[in-house]
Structure 1
Amino acid sequence: MKLEMICTGEEVLSGQIVDTNAAWFADTMMDEGIEVARRITVGDRLEDLVEVFRERSLHADVILVNGGLGPTTDDLSAQAMAEAKGEPLVENTEWRQRLEDWFSKHNRVMARSNLKQAMLPESAVMVDNPVGTACGFRVKLNRAWLFFTPGVPFELKHMIPEQFIPFIKQEFQLDTATKVKKLLTLGQGESMLQDKLSELELPEGVTLGYRSSMPYIEIKLFARGEAAIAALDALVGKIHSILGTGVVAEDKPSLAEELHHLLLAKGKTLSAAESCTGGMLTSQLVAFPGSSAYLMQGLVTYSNEAKVKILGVKPQTLDDFGAVSIETVEEMAAGARALLDSDYALSTSGIAGPDGGTDAKPVGTVAIALATRYGVYSQMIKLPRRSRELVRQLSSAVAYDMLRRELLGEAPIVDYDSIGRFAK
């Protein structure tokens, strides 16, 4: 089965908004063992939409069309599909009733423009949208089924697992057992990972791929068939042996999520005192429901005055060693932990750039500390030739990894192949 995706909208084409739907859809389908073969972005121009629907329907088996189902004049997906098939738009009475019921239930007056959302190509099969007013539908054209979904991410993320995936599994009899295993790595470049794993013998039915999602590289193992699935655990063990400390999580998209689950499972609490990361440590954790059970406080102590007055960093320490130093972050972490007697505290202070570096401490120099009830661990890392954002992301990930290793009873500080470290 050849799967493609067409994304519509001038705002997507022009880069005014980032198309997160396409990335999410491709990743979701990969988890089902189906790779998106092609993705095309088209603006809100009727003739362009008609052309691409006709052309791609000659090559794909299924095309997910995302966007263009709203009530405004620039929402043209249904009209373009009707023209591509040479048939009229007709009112879907079931969806019109759904619209009227929805507005009545919410005590709102339905605008006449909303009726446009009930107009579908004559041969279309309605596809339910359980959380929005945009009616989904599917149409067969030439070789392909074109499956239309709204551009609102919340609505799309309901319709793909509830409507789209069951449809293609039934239509194309995709009943082979599959399983995906994901290994998250830190401090390993994609080419470096490829070199290390190049001699690895993959069991029949298992494929290996890489996905860069900075600051991580994800290794994705996809197994088709019962025998391949049964061989996954042994294969994962071999990869752990080859990469060692480079693997930092399994089946988690980030260290923040891994740390979230570990802190909950172990019943430990955390505080953070951030300078160069500017709240990134805490903001990633509070994205997960339940983080209030362990996250006690997050302090962005950007100035030296804040480090002294809030965290108790000694002025002499700043004078002698500077804000970006092992000595300063150790006092920051210890001070943050002591404020509310949390089990752990993380601290960061660095030069994210693009300016502010010196010969002794160039841009990309970051000091990180982890305070526990029994002592403080600290390190200074080198992140040269990285963007300001990537310096902050990598620093946060290394800090998370220090705490993750401590929670698992491992050495908190390790060497990473692509992250330099100052000797203590």
Structure 2
Amino acid sequence: MKLEMICTGEEVLSGQIIDTNAAWVANTMMELGIETQHRITVGDRLEDLKNAFIERSHHADVIIVNGGLGPTSDDMSAEAMALAKSEELVENIEWRETLVNWFARNNRTMAKSNLKQAWLPESAVMVDNPVGTACGFRVKLNKAWLFFTPGVPFELKHMIKEQFIPFIKEEYGISENTSLKKLLTIGHGESSLEDSLSPLNLPDGITLGYRSSMPHIEIKIFARGDKAISKLPSVTKKVKSILGIAVVAEDRPTLAAEIHNRLYQSGFSLSIAESCTGGLITSQLIDFAGSSSYLHHGLVTYSNESKVKILGVNPQILDDYGAVSIATVEAMARGARDILDSDFALSTSGIAGPDGGSDDKPVGTVAIALATKHAVYSQMIKLPSRSRQLVRSISAAIAYDMLRRALLGEAVIVDYPSISRFAK
């Protein structure tokens, strides 16, 4: 089965918004062993949409069309599909009744424009949307089924999982069992990871894939068929053995997710004091429900004055060593931990750039510390030629990894091949 995707919308085409829908769909389908082979983005122009539907329908078996199902004049997917099929738009009575009932149930007045969402190409098969007002639909054109989905991410995800995936499994007889193992790494380049794993002799039905999402690189071990699935644990074990400390989590999208999983309802507590990361470490943990079970506080102590008055850092340390120093982050971590006697505390202070560096401490210099009830661990890393955001995100990831390793009783400070450290 050849799967393609057409994304619609001027705001996506012009770069005003990032198309997270396309990435989510591709990743979700890849986990089923189905690779998206072609993807295009088309603006809100009727003729362009019609031509795209016709042209790609000669190449693909299935095309997911995302967006353009709303009530406004720039939502043109249904009309463009009708033109491509040379047929009329017809009101779908079932969806009209669904719309009327939805607005009545939510005590809202339905705008006349919402009725547009019930008009579909004559040959379309309606696809239910239980969480929104835009129904989906599917149409056969040339060799392809075009499956139209709403642009709202929450609605799209429901429709893909509950409607689209069952449809393609039934339509194309996708019944072979599959399984996927994900290994998250930091501190290694994608090419070096592949070089390390390329000599590995993989059993039939098992393939490796790589996904770069800095500061992480995710390795996907995909098994297709029961025989391959039975060998997945042993292959995973071999991959982990080859990569060693590069692997920082299994089946987690980020290190923040790994830390949350380890701290949630663990009985341990965490405090955080951030300077250059500016709340990034704290924010990534707060993304997860239940983080209040372990997170005492996250303090953004950006100025030297706040480090002194809030965290109790001795002004002499700042005078002698500067804000970006081992001495300062150790004092910050101790101060953050002491406020509520937390089990652990993380701290960061650095020069994220693009300005502010010096010969001794160039842009990309970051000091990170972890304080426990028994010791303080610290390191200063070099991240040259990285963007401001990447300096911050890599620093957050390394801080998380220090905490992860402490929780596991492993060496807190380790060497990452792609990241240099200052000698103490």
Q: TM-score range by the shorter chain?
A: over 0.9
CA positional deviation for 1:267: 2.0
Q: Quote how far apart the aligned CAs of 1:32 are.
A: 1.0
Residue 337 of structure 1 is matched in structure 2 by 337
Q: Where do residues 17-416 of structure 1 align in structure 2 (5 Å cutoff)?
A: 17-264=17-264, 266-416=266-416
Helix, strand or coil at the partner of 2:151: coil
Q: Once the two structures are superposed, what CA deviation does each residue of 1:212-232 show, in whole Å capped at 9, x if it has no partner?
A: 000011111110011111111
Q: Deviations over 1:110-152 (max 9, x none)?
A: 1111111000000100000000000110001110100001101
**5+ unaligned residues in a row in structure 2: which ranges?**
none
TM-score, normalization by structure 2: 0.99
Report the secondary structure of 1:316's partner residue: helix
1:154-190 CA-partner distances (Å, limit 9, x unpaired): 1101111000000000100100010011110000001
Q: Tell me if the contact between 2:265 and 2:293 (Cα under 8 Å) persists in the aligned partners.
A: no
User: 1:284 offset after TM fit, Å?
Assistant: 0.1
Secondary structure in 2 matching 1:266: coil
- Aligned residue identity for 1:345: A
Report if aligned partners of 2:265, 2:294 keep a CA contact under 8 Å in 1. no
Counterpart-to-counterpart distance in 1, 2:229 and 2:266: 30
1:265: Cα distance to partner? 5.1
Letter paired with 1:111: A
**Partner Cα separation in structure 2 for residue 315 and residue 190 of structure 1:** 43
Shift of 1:197: 1.0
Over the residues paired in the alignment, what is the CA RMSD in angstroms? 0.7
**Contact 2:82–2:122 (8 Å) recurs in 1:** yes
SS of match in other structure, 1:34:
coil
Deviations 1:324-371 (A, max 9, x none): 010100000000000011100000000111111111111111000000
Aligned counterparts of 2:188 and 2:21: Cα–Cα separation in 1: 28
Name the CA distance, whole Å, in 2 between partners of 1:327 and 1:417.
Answer: 25
* 3-state SS of paired residue (2:74): coil
Aligned equivalents of 2:31, 2:287: Cα separation in 1: 23
Residues 22-43 of structure 1: CA deviation (Å, up to 9, x unaligned): 0011011111111100111000
Distance 1:417 1:266 in 2: 32
Runs of 4+ in 1 over 2 A off after TM superposition: none
One-letter code of the match for 2:213?
S
Q: SS of the residue aligned with 1:352?
A: coil
Tell me, what secondary structure is at the counterpart of 1:168?
helix
Return the offset for 1:59.
0.7
Count residues with an aligned counterpart. 424
| Alpha-carbon distance between aligned partners in 2 of 1:76 and 1:32, rounded to the nearest angstrom | 30
CA distance in 2, matches of 1:224, 1:350: 45
Q: Give the secondary structure class of the aligned counterpart of 2:268.
A: coil
Partner of 1:231, secondary structure, is helix
Percentage of pairs with the same residue:
74
Tell me the TM-score normalized by structure 1: 0.99
1 CA distance for matches of 2:241 and 2:106? 57
